[in-house]
Chains A and B, each alone.
Chain A
Amino acid sequence: MHFVVCIKQVPATTNVQVDPKTGTLKREGVESIINPFDEYAIEEGIRLKERLGGKVTVITMGPPQAESALREALGRGCDEAILLTDKSFAGADTLATAYTLSCAIKMLSEPADLIICGKQASDGDTAQVGPSLAELLDIPHVTNVRKIVEIKEGYVKLERMLEDGVDVLEMSLPALITVVKEINTPRLPTLKGILAAKKKQILVWNKETVNADADKIGLKGSPTQVVKIFYPPPRQGGQVITGADAKEIAKKLVEKLSSHGLI
């Protein structure tokens, strides 16, 4: 089977901090990482390949430096990597991104059986590219998959995580899933894997290679436009409750809470 994993390179958000003086993002020295949710997608692709045979192709769209994310994915055990990079891809919203990915996936010499994406990216947090991509490829999809119960040629049975429980569903292949962190524990790249990955060739595809319609990619092809960016006003702190001992503090707090009608 052919498993295709779509990943995104994102800023390591845990290091992104707001400058207390200017209230702006500190960008200096912020490294780029594989979107944490995509690590589960990569791992699931590799596990499925190990169980069922076949290969894992990893795809990303981004600036040339996104190659390092692909290199890391190869180091973990993906077989082939494709970097979609073109100046005209820049500024894409979720629909233009999904369109560009769909063009690339249609160009694969071996058709994809299962496309795996992370639940969402940690920078944009939209969770929209996966389902949109499935629609543009005219294949079914299920989001928030926490377990693949059974998979065979043309068929998959899986569990979808919802707010109040789990749906058990079955779906025909080819299809697309987005996965949540419950699905597995990602492995780290091994030294052997990293060395092997260095030798692997990464395919670099541009707008012409994937035969993309210039009106549907990048900023120009994006229906949504960011018109303003601002920093949320910080929540104002309140009061400190003090007392001689825990008992007194607890009593004061109960008074406060009851004055708000909370107990």
Chain B
Amino acid sequence: MSKIEIITEKCTGCGLCIKPCPYGAIKLVDSPHQISSGRTVKQVAVIILDKCTYCGACVDACRYKAIVLEKEEVKVASEFKDYKDVWVYAEQRRGEIAPVVYELIAKGRELADKLGCKVCCVLLGHNIKELANELIYYGSDVVYVIDDPVLAEFLDEPYSECLAWLIRKYKPEILLMGATNIGRSFASRVAAKIRTGLTADCTGLDVDVTTRNLLQTRPAFGGNIMATILTPRHRPQMATVRHKVFKPLQKDVTRKGEVIQENFDFTNVKIRTKFLEFIKDTTSKVNLAEADIIVSGGRGLGGPHGFKLLEELADLLGGAVGASRAAVDAGWIPYSHQVGQTGRTVAPKLYIACGISGQIQHLVGMSSSEIIVAINKDPSAPMMKIATYAIEGDLYEIIPELIKAVKEYKGIKS
């Protein structure tokens, strides 16, 4: 077990460690005592062990080195010597690879190079064999393929049986999956099946080459804090990863790799779900999550009519229309357009926020956009503070002029 202790002679009772504790596990109690300098202080910090997770945030916050944390010793890498390679789950639907897969291959490549191993993809589906080459062109060394009519549509049960079987057979040390709706559902089932750790929705990944531990960084508490998470005693280390955080490699059709066909026996597999049909969302012309340009509107639009204007600008720029929760809750635009903690996470090249004040729940869903333009009447709105370009003013005056200016620039007659 890990141990944490406060050295009374060093603790001045200043309380600096209390706020950084995400678990509310530190309190000050009255306990007059003399500290090393000879001064007498009134209070001492006490750790509530029931609440403490040994994260170490307090250790970093203490100016007097009065908190000592001993982490539970982790198994040495040699115990996992059978486990090797970085795997990427190549999510596909109807023959189309999810774009996040290429981003994960690039990151997996980097991790594998550090660890001195291979990056491999797992491709599950039906009539998907030709996609394997595509994965190699983008940087994969090996592609494991199970092509079976049972896998024609994504269903959690047969897919998780196949992936768990491959994991047991080949023992990867790391498995990365896209944090898509499917990825997050599927990964959870697989991790529980093989009883290993899974970290959700990571935005940062690195490896410790000595322990071969994967350092998984992710936002929590609605993006207010970041946490780095390890899976020290289990293999494979599984993570789902947010899209558009990593850049894919250049496609190189001369790259060579190995494609390994596997046959899975479904005889004894329980399949208690059945796919009936897929209804495509036709309201949005561009997939919000994948759009390079997003024109987004919030409460400041004052009504649904404002989205007509935003749509015109988005069409002109070849982008998609997004919205804040306030606009969606007001019924001005469907939920599929919502950006933020309870909607989509986006990271376009350009995000134009019109009349969006910028609540933390919205910012967490879009703050990794490359360029942010904010148009708002209130210059003190949080969105205006983080914007690359902030424009104070009435969006109903500025956007029509912006539409004209873009048309002029592009040489389109209005």
Q: Is A170 an interface residue (CB 8 A)?
A: yes
Q: Which of A22, A133, A227, A254 is B406 in contact with, Cβ under 8 Å?
A: A254
* Contact between chains at B56 and A228 (CB < 8 Å): yes
Q: Is B293 an interface residue (CB 8 A)?
A: yes
Q: Is A127 an interface residue (CB 8 A)?
A: yes
Interface centre among A133, A157, A166, A235 (most CB of B within 10 A): A235
Q: How far is the CA of A181 from the CA of B293 in the complex (A)?
A: 26
* Contact between chains at A172 and B272 (CB < 8 Å): yes
Number of A-B contacts (CB under 8 A): 294
* Contact between chains at A223 and B24 (CB < 8 Å): no
Nearest neighbor of A133 in chain B, beta-carbon distance: B192
A residues 93-134 in Cβ contact with B at 8 Å: 93-95, 98, 122-134
* Contact between chains at A226 and B389 (CB < 8 Å): no
Nearest neighbor of B203 in chain A, beta-carbon distance: A232
* Contact between chains at B185 and A127 (CB < 8 Å): yes
* Contact between chains at A142 and B227 (CB < 8 Å): no
Nearest neighbor of A132 in chain B, beta-carbon distance: B192
Nearest neighbor of A129 in chain B, beta-carbon distance: B188
A residues 1-37 in Cβ contact with B at 8 Å: 11, 13-14, 16-19, 22, 24-27, 36-37
Nearest neighbor of A220 in chain B, beta-carbon distance: B1
* Contact between chains at A25 and B225 (CB < 8 Å): yes
Q: How far is the CA of A239 from the CA of B371 in the complex (A)?
A: 12
Q: Is A188 an interface residue (CB 8 A)?
A: no
Nearest neighbor of B215 in chain A, beta-carbon distance: A227
User: Chain B residues with Cβ under 8 A from A11's Cβ?
Assistant: 221
Question: Secondary structure at chain A's binding surface: helix, strand, loop or mixed?
Answer: mixed
Q: Is B209 an interface residue (CB 8 A)?
A: no
* Contact between chains at B279 and A239 (CB < 8 Å): no
Q: How far is the CA of A223 from the CA of B272 in the complex (A)?
A: 29
Nearest neighbor of A230 in chain B, beta-carbon distance: B226
* Contact between chains at B281 and A24 (CB < 8 Å): no
A residues 146-170 in Cβ contact with B at 8 Å: 157, 159-170
Q: Mark B134-174, 1 if CB is under 8 A from A, else 0.
A: 00000000000000000001111100100000000000000
User: Chain B residues with Cβ under 8 A from A258's Cβ?
Assistant: 409
Q: Is A262 an interface residue (CB 8 A)?
A: yes
User: Chain B residues with Cβ under 8 A from A240's Cβ?
Assistant: 379, 389-392
* Contact between chains at A226 and B229 (CB < 8 Å): yes
Q: In the complex, what's the smallest C-beta–C-beta distance from B350 to chain A, in angstroms?
A: 5
* Contact between chains at B405 and A254 (CB < 8 Å): yes
* Contact between chains at A263 and B409 (CB < 8 Å): yes
Nearest neighbor of A137 in chain B, beta-carbon distance: B192
Q: Is B398 an interface residue (CB 8 A)?
A: yes
B residues 258-300 in Cβ contact with A at 8 Å: 270, 272-281, 287, 289, 293
For the complex of A and B, the 5 pairs showing the least CB-CB separation, nearest first, are A223-B197, A131-B188, A250-B401, A126-B200, A132-B192
| Residues in A lying within 8 Å of B, measured CB to CB | 11, 13-14, 16-19, 22, 24-27, 36-37, 87, 90-91, 93-95, 98, 122-136, 138-144, 157, 159-172, 175, 181-182, 219-220, 222-232, 234-242, 246-247, 249-251, 253-254, 256-258, 260, 262-263
Write 5 A-B pairs (CB below 8 A) sorted by A numbering: A135-B189, A142-B273, A229-B20, A250-B405, A257-B350
Given A122-B341, A130-B188, 7 extra CB contacts under 8 A: A25-B221, A124-B200, A128-B187, A135-B188, A139-B272, A163-B287, A226-B227
